[in-house]
Chains A and B, each alone.
Chain A
Amino acid sequence: WEGSWGLYFPQSTYSESIYVGQAAGTPVLQVHAMQERASEQPYFCLYWRRLQKSAPYASWFYIDAVTGVIYMNKTLDWTDFESISSSWFAHAKRLTLKVTAAPMSQKILCAQFPNAEVSLTFFNATAPTCGQMKIEKLCFPDRDINPHIKENRMPGPLRQLRRFTHADLCPNYNISYRVKPESPVPFIVNDSTSELVVTAPLDREEKEVYRLILTCLVQTEKELFTNFTPLHISIYDEDDSPPYVNGTDTEDVLIEFSRNKGAAFGDLFVYDRDTTSTYHKEQSQNKYVWTLLTNDSWIKDTFTIQQNFSEEKPIFGNVRGTVYKYKLRLIRNISVDEKRSFQLDYLVNDTTFRGPEGTVMLHFNVTILPVSISFSNITYFYVLSRKSMTYSQIGEVCVDNCLKFKGIEIAYHLELSDRNISANVQSCYTAVDVARNLEDMSGVLYVNDTEPLRRPECQELQYVLVAHEQHKQLQAKTLVIIIFEGEADPLRTDGQRSLACAEKRQRGECETFSGLGTSTGRCQWRQGTEKVISENYSTCSPDLRTCPDGYCDVIESKNISICPQDCTREPIIGGHERGLMLGIKAGHGTCYCYLEKCFCEQDDMEEAICDDMCKTVIATA
C-alpha cells in the first residue's frame, strides 16, 4: 500500500526570532519533511500566505530547496522594520511565511503540496550579544511545539535542534545535544548536523507518545553547562489494522411487544485497533460501512442497522482503538399479526484498510412473534361509593401486556352489555366512562356523571369493555361490573360552587369538602413535615394516590380543578420548584390553588397548635 500519504511536515508551525543587523546569508531555521519512500526526496519552496497582496518582506528570505534551511536574503536594517510596522510603538512584528515540500519529480507544482507555517518574530532591536544570552536561550526555544510522526514511515531526521540565530551569536561555544536514554527509544541526535533523527518505522498500536528528555551541552571557554527540556513526540495513526469480532458474531433478537419505528434490538461489537476521529465525520480515515445481505424487500423496508462507535483504551492494551456497536433498528411499525423468523446477515467493511481481511460478517437471528389482543379471563369488578364525585378514578384496565406495548395503538370504550333494557335504566350508563392513559396503552375508568348515582335503579351497572387495536382492527372484550353502595350525598349541588379540593388551605376544611374527583366524596389532606421546600408539601387533594404525584394524568387533564397541583401551567407564587412541564414539583409549607393560580406558603398555624403543656399553662393562667 504505497503512495497513500507522501511527504509531510512533522510539525505544523516553526517559529524563530530575527533582529535588526542580521546578516544576509545567515541561516534562520531548518524545516524537515518526512518521507514515505527513499525515492521521495523533498523539494522545499517558500511562498507567502496572501499572494494577491505581496508581502513586503517576501524577498528577505530564501530556502535551500534540498536541505530545507531558510536563510536571510538581505541584511536587515532599521528601515526594514519601519517598512512593515504600522505602529510607532511596536516592539516586534510577526512575519508569516509558508513552506511547502514536493517530491523532487514534481517540484514545479511545489506550492500545491502540504505546507507548514513559519512564524518569524522581527524585533525592532539588534541581537543581544553572547554575554547577554542566557544558556537556556542558546539551547531551546522559549515555547516549543511538540512534533508528530506518522506510523509505518521511513526513518530520518525530523527536527533541527540548533537555534541558528542564537547559537551563531556565540561562535566560541560548542553546543551539542543528546537524547537522554531513559529506556531504549528509536530517537538519536545526529552529532554532525544537530538533527533529531527517528531511527526506525514506528507503530502507533504499540506506543502512541514518546516522552523524551533532550539534553543540551554548552561548552564555554571555562565550563560545561547542561540543560534539559522535555519533548513529546506523538505517533499519528493510519488504517493498518483489520476489523475483528471478539466472541460472537451472531445475536438473537426477539421482537414481540416493542414493534415501533425506531426501536433498536441486539448489540454486536466489532473492534478495530485503529483510531477513528469524531471531529471529521466525512474523513475517510478508518471509515466503516455496512451492507445488508438480503433481497427480501419486506426486510429491507423494515430494518436498518444502527452503527455507533466509541474510542476505548483499556481493552486495546492502553492504546486507543475503536469499538463499533451495531443494533438492529425498525424503520417502520410492525403490525401485531406479523410472524416471521429469519437470519439477517450484514457485512461490515473497513473501507480504508488496504489488506485482504477488511470485512466482517455479522448476523442477527430475528424472531418476530405476533401479539394477541385479548383480556385474560377476568371480569373487572368495582364497588363504588355513591358519594363519588365526577372525575373520580375507579380503576385501570389493560389488555394483556398492554404496559409493554410500543408501536401498538389500543383504544378503549364501554358498551352496554344488554341492549334490551328500558330507556330509564339505559340512562344509568352515562355514570362511567373510560379514557386511554397518556403514556401507555392501559385505560382508566372514571365517574363521568354523578346524576345516576342517586337513582336506585342504577345500583349495579354491567358494561362491556372493548379494546380496539387501531391498525389491524382487532378487538377484545371483557365485562366490567360496577356496584354503587352507600348513601348518596343529599346536599350535593354539583356545578353551583367551586369544587376544587386544592382551594382548601387547612386540614379541617379540606376533609369535610366534596371536591371534584373525590372517590369517597371527601377531599384528602396531606400533611408535610418539612420546614423547607419539599416534594411532600401540605395540600388538599381529591385522591392522594393520583394527586399530587407530580404527573398530570389523563383524567386530571380533563378539568383543571381536579388537580391543579399536578396540572397548572401558570407561574406559582411562593417558594417552590416547578415540575418539568406542568405542576408543582416541590413547595414550601402548604400549596393551594384557585383554578390554575397556585400559591405555596408556610402557614402561621404553629401558634394555634397548642400541645398539652401549653393547654395547662393557659388553664392555670
Chain B
Amino acid sequence: MSILVIAEHNNSELNPATLKTLSAAQAIGGDIDVLVAGDGCQAVAEEASKIGGVNKVLCASNAAYGHFLAENLGTLVAELGKGYSHILAPATTTGKNFMPRVAALLDVAQVSDIIAVESADTFKRPIYAGNAIATVQSEDAIKVITVRATAFDAVSAEGGSASVETVDAAHASDKSEFVGEELAQSERPELTAARVVISGGRGMQNGENFHLLEKVADKLGAAVGASRAAVDAGFVPNDYQVGQTGKIVAPELYIAVGISGAIQHLAGMKDSKVIVAINKDEEAPIFQVADYGLVADLFEVLPQLDQSL
C-alpha cells in the first residue's frame, strides 16, 4: 500500500490538520508520501520532511498553486495520485474543494470526512449531521479520502528525515483566477485546534456582548465560536460558526452560552470531552448533551465566571 497525503498549509507553515491526517494514513498502513503544493512553499516541504514516518515529500512550488485553486490543484493531485492506493487530505474547506475533483478525474468515488479507519478499505464516517455513523467499504482501486481532523491525534512533527523531491508540473487553468481574500484576524487559538472553546448563540443579543465571552476566553486560553443564529444575525463573522455547515470542533472543554442546541449545532461540537451549557431556558436541548448545565442569565453568569477564573 502506498499513500499520498496532501499537506494543508499557508505557504509558510503546515496546518496542524496535516499531522492528524497523517495519523489516519498510519492507521491504514503503508509507505506515506506527502505532497506540499503551493507557491514558495519550500520551507513547508522542509518542515514536512521532518515529520516522523514520512517516506518522501513532493514539493510542487508554482504560482498556479499559490491560492490552492481546485482546478489547478485537482489536476496536479490526480496526476501524481495515479500510482498510489490511497490519497488523503484533511476535510478543511481547501480539502473539500479540490479532492472531489481529484476523485472524479480518477473516476473513483470519494469517502468524505472519515472519523475512523477500520481497515485499508473500510472507514467510518458520520451522516445525517452526525446522528448516524456509517461504516463504508470502498472497492475503488484508488481510495480518495478526506479526514475529519478532530477525530485523529496528531503524529509527531519530528523524528523524520524524508527526502524532498521537486515536482515541476504546472497546471494553470485559464478558467479560474484568484481575485482576493479577507481573512479574519484573531490572536486567540484557532477554533478547530483549541483546547477550550467558548461559543455564543442568539442569546448573546448583539455583537458587542461577545466581549463578555472574549474576556472569559482570554483567561482560559480559549477560542471563541458561535452558532449559526449568531452568525446570521451578524454578531460575528461566518468563520466563527460551529456546526454541520461550519467548523467541527472537539476540544477538551466546550462552553455553550445562549445556544439552544439545534441538531445542526450539536453536529459540530458533541464530540467535545466536557460540555458546559449556560442557558436561561431549562428546556433547551443543549442540556441533553451537557456534562454541566447552569440555568441562569448569561449576562449575570459571564462576569462572575470571568472574576472567578
Q: Do A and B come from one complex?
A: no
